[in-house]
């Protein structure tokens, strides 16, 4: 009987953490989607760069595909004045004006900060100014805060991490502005077990991703087992997409997009949106794949079969269908077989290839196909 209702575990976890559905969650009902400046630009950002990326998100069709947040990562920070008010640096002369512009495009704005005295790049952060900074962010019109541990360990003991994150959550709540809270502390102290209880809408489960296949694959495939902690309003975050940054081959980019979608992970592009190839845009904006990630049931997928470098992952969907990823982590193509019983399907099922946008027909018992090296075949299975 319990197996039949396993999908209720995320709800039970929220109740155990003291979060009631009467309160929400109003934010992040599905995994958040957007763009973050760090992967491509690092600290080389300014007002003009962010405006251009926001406009490109709209003009390219990515907004229409579901991308919503424009996140200004490290590089905006200035100083706290004598009254304790946080100011952006001279590359961002009018942060409220920038937020107003992004909002005028129908998008939302995110920002990077830290509970420590300085950010990861040594710039001022919010330690000792939490309440004032939350109020400043709300006044600017910020909709998303990525709160990065960075120098937190210089002022907090390990057992104070949870309280430090809760402190800023309470400060944001007191402003009255709905602000999505992204916890970035690299999975330390099993954050997935307590992130929701301090207001987290998403939390990093890993160290920083890098623009190479092995880092991407290691991070993504290590998410198995965390699925019970994810659900509407609170998501495991294996870090941003590296699609379009130059080091992943297109077949590997489709692997990341497929795996992140099966994981119900936040989808944050990290490339230059003003300079995308048609193939990059096609991968990032594939609506059939995005629909897997954004499924309203909010169930994180998990591994159902593995043999050597071959893995099959499954994500139940709200309409009773299932999304299935057949992954080949070997460099050369491999023939793989999906046994329908491994995903809980008896009898026959209709299959659709979500990258080829093609119905494959009806199959009984199993489906065999050739999967490219470092690649994936992503299916939607209808029993």
The reply to whether 120 and 174 lie within a common domain is: yes
Read off the pLDDT band of 64 (50, 70, 90).
Answer: very high
Residues of the chain with pLDDT > 70: what percent?
Answer: 93
Q: How far apart are CA 36 and CA 277, in angstroms?
A: 18
Q: How far apart are CA 347 and CA 364, in angstroms?
A: 6
The predicted pLDDT at position 132 comes to: 98
The reply to whether 180 and 269 lie within a common domain is: yes
Residue 2 belongs to a domain: no
And the tokens for 338? 């999906």
- 122 φ/ψ sector (left φ>0, alpha ψ -120 to 50, else beta): left
| Phi, psi torsion values for 357, nearest 5 degrees | 55, 50
The predicted pLDDT at position 88 comes to: 98
Each residue's pLDDT tens digit, 314-327:
999 999 999 999 99
Q: Which domain-ending residue is among 293, 318, 349?
A: 293
The predicted pLDDT at position 186 comes to: 97
Each residue's pLDDT tens digit, 239-269:
999 999 999 999 999 999 999 999 999 999 9
Q: How many domains does the chain have?
A: 2
Q: Which domain-ending residue is among 293, 324, 358?
A: 293
The reply to whether 49 and 105 lie within a common domain is: yes
Spatial CA neighbour of 286 closest among 357, 344, 334: 357
Annotated catalytic residue, options 208, 211, 212, 342: 208
The predicted pLDDT at position 26 comes to: 83
The predicted pLDDT at position 171 comes to: 98
Read off the pLDDT band of 13 (50, 70, 90).
Answer: very low
Asked if 148 is an active-site residue, the reply is: yes
The reply to whether 283 and 357 lie within a common domain is: no
The reply to whether 110 and 218 lie within a common domain is: yes
Q: Which domain-ending residue is among 233, 268, 293?
A: 293
Each residue's pLDDT tens digit, 33-48:
999 999 999 999 999 9
Q: Which domain holds residue 324?
A: 302-382
The reply to whether 121 and 214 lie within a common domain is: yes
The reply to whether 13 and 153 lie within a common domain is: yes
The reply to whether 307 and 243 lie within a common domain is: no
pLDDT at 81 over 60: yes
The predicted pLDDT at position 16 comes to: 45
The predicted pLDDT at position 52 comes to: 99
Annotated catalytic residue, options 47, 73, 143, 148: 148
| Local structure of 106: helix, strand or coil | coil
The predicted pLDDT at position 12 comes to: 46
Residues in CB range of 277: below 8 A, 6 or more apart: 244
Each residue's pLDDT tens digit, 17-32:
444 333 345 899 999 9
Q: What's the CATH code of the domain at 213?
A: 3.20.20.70
Residue 196 belongs to a domain: yes
Read off the pLDDT band of 14 (50, 70, 90).
Answer: very low
Q: How far apart are CA 363 and CA 267, in angstroms?
A: 32
Read off the pLDDT band of 301 (50, 70, 90).
Answer: very high
Asked if 239 is an active-site residue, the reply is: no
User: What mean pLDDT value characterizes the chain?
Assistant: 94
Q: What's the CATH code of the domain at 348?
A: 2.60.40.1180
| Phi, psi torsion values for 327, nearest 5 degrees | -105, 140
């Amino acid at each position: 009987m319990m197996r039949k209702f396993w999908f209720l575990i995320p709800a039970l976890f929220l109740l155990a953490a003291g979060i009631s559905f009467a309160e929400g969650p109003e934010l992040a009902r599905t995994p958040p989607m957007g763009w973050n400046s760090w992967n491509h630009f690092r600290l080389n950002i300014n007002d003009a760069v962010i405006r251009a990326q926001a406009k490109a998100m709209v003009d390219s069709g990515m907004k229409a595909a579901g991308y919503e947040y424009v996140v200004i990562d490290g590089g905006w920070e200035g100083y706290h004045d004598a009254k304790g008010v946080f100011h952006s640096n001279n590359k961002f002369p009018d942060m409220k004006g920038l937020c107003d512009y992004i909002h005028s495009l129908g998008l939302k704005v995110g920002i990077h900060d830290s509970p420590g005295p300085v950010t990861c790049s040594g710039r001022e952060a919010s330690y000792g100014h939490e309440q004032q900074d939350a109020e400043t962010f709300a006044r600017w019109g910020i909709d998303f805060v990525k709160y990065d541990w960075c120098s937190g360990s210089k002022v907090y003991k390990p057992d104070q991490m949870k309280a430090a994150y809760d402190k800023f959550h309470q400060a944001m709540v007191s402003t009255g502005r709905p602000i999505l809270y992204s916890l970035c502390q690299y999975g330390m102290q099993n954050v997935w077990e307590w992130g929701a209880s301090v207001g987290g809408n998403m939390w990093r489960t890993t160290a920083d991703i890098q623009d190479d296949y092995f880092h991407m694959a290691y991070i993504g495939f290590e998410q198995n087992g965390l699925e019970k902690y994810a659900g509407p309003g609170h998501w495991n975050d294996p870090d941003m997409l590296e699609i379009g940054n130059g080091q992943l081959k297109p077949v590997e980019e489709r692997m990341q997009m497929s795996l992140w979608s099966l994981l119900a992970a936040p989808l944050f592009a990290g490339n230059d949106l003003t300079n995308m190839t048609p193939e990059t845009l096609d991968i990032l904006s594939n609506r059939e794949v995005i629909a897997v990630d954004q499924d309203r049931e909010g169930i994180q997928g998990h591994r159902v079969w593995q043999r050597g470098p071959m893995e099959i992952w499954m994500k139940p969907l709200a309409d009773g269908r299932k999304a299935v990823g057949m992954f080949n982590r070997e460099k050369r193509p491999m023939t793989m077989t999906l046994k329908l019983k491994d995903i809980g399907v008896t009898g026959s099922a209709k299959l659709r290839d979500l990258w080829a946008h093609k119905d494959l027909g009806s199959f009984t018992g199993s489906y065999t196909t050739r999967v490219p090296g470092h690649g994936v075949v992503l299916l939607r299975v209808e029993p």
